[in-house]
Amino acid sequence: MSLILKTTIISVMMIALCCLPILFHHVRRVSRFFFLAGTGALVGIVCFDLMPDVIELGGNSSLLLVFSVWIIYSAIHFFHYRHHKDHSHEEGTLHHHVPEKGIAVFLISMIIHCISSGILLAISTKFNEGFSRAVFLALIAHKCYESLIVSSIVLERVQVRSRAIFAIILYSLALPLGVGLASIFSEQIGLKLAVVATSVALGSLLGCMVFDFLIPSIGHIKKSRIELAWVFLGLVLTELMMRSHS
């Protein structure tokens, strides 16, 4: 599958899912099953596919860089949490509220995260097909629910609807922008730099997996243990799909 096709699939998916909260206000109330399955899929891809491939490509130095970025991500997330202890969960949703004053910071951080995801998608084509496919599936797994959540939060916190929609459009275009930047400067990106950039992006993805997927999922599973089955379903189905194409 070509990079253009992968970028198109993810971008169209993100735009479509960002539109759902705009068109259907109650869409978040039925999204938890998809979120739990996506959590399992993301855990499987990151732990069993992406992490081993990055270690193979860059050795222990890559692993150190991944966890260094994850520690920085964790520190930023913890700092944000300490300053917004009034965050709470809505009934039937799994995301944290973002205070109105912090919406700009939230949106900027998500746009930067999407740009780095696009760069990771483009750089992954420099490596083997298995690693590139794992990156593509990992982005599919977590961008689905992320798009729903970002769109929902922006609509809740930005009072002017036209501004909210404009912010959502900026977010939706961030990933193809990252792909475009990586493609433009592809000749300047050597193998070593690609490994470093991939490690940094994977560290960010690991932080996203832990704080935005695993922790909310664990809290939700405590209320209803049957929800754990959806996490395992997402993990098993994704790994079966990965192995069938390896």
The per-residue pLDDT for 16 is 92
Contact 27, 21 (CB under 8 A): yes
- Among 140, 155, 144, 150, which Cα is nearest to 108's? 150
Q: How far is CA 85 from CA 6, 81, 97, 98, 208, in A?
A: 38, 6, 10, 11, 19
Neighbouring C-alpha atoms within 13 Å toward the C-beta of 47: 12
DSSP 8-state code for residue 210:
I
Per-residue burial over 181-204, b = 16 or more CB atoms within 10 Å of its CB, e = otherwise = ebbeeeeebeeeebbbbbbbbbbb
Q: Is the pTM of this model over 0.85?
A: no
Looking at the chain, the number of H-run helices and the number of E-run strands are 9, 0
Q: What is the pLDDT at residue 105?
A: 62
**Terminal CA-to-CA distance of the chain, rounded, Å?**
14
Which residues neighbour 2 within 8 Å (Cβ) at sequence distance 6 or greater?
A: none
Would you state the pLDDT for residue 186? 77
**Which position has the token pair 């609807």?**
161
Tell me, what's the pLDDT at 28? Answer: 57
Cα–Cα distance, 188 to 56 (Å, whole number)? 23
**Looking at residue 95, what is its pLDDT?**
47
Block residue for tokens 């949490």: 81
| Ranges of the chain whose pLDDT falls below 70 | 27-31, 34, 80-103, 105-106, 109, 191, 241-246
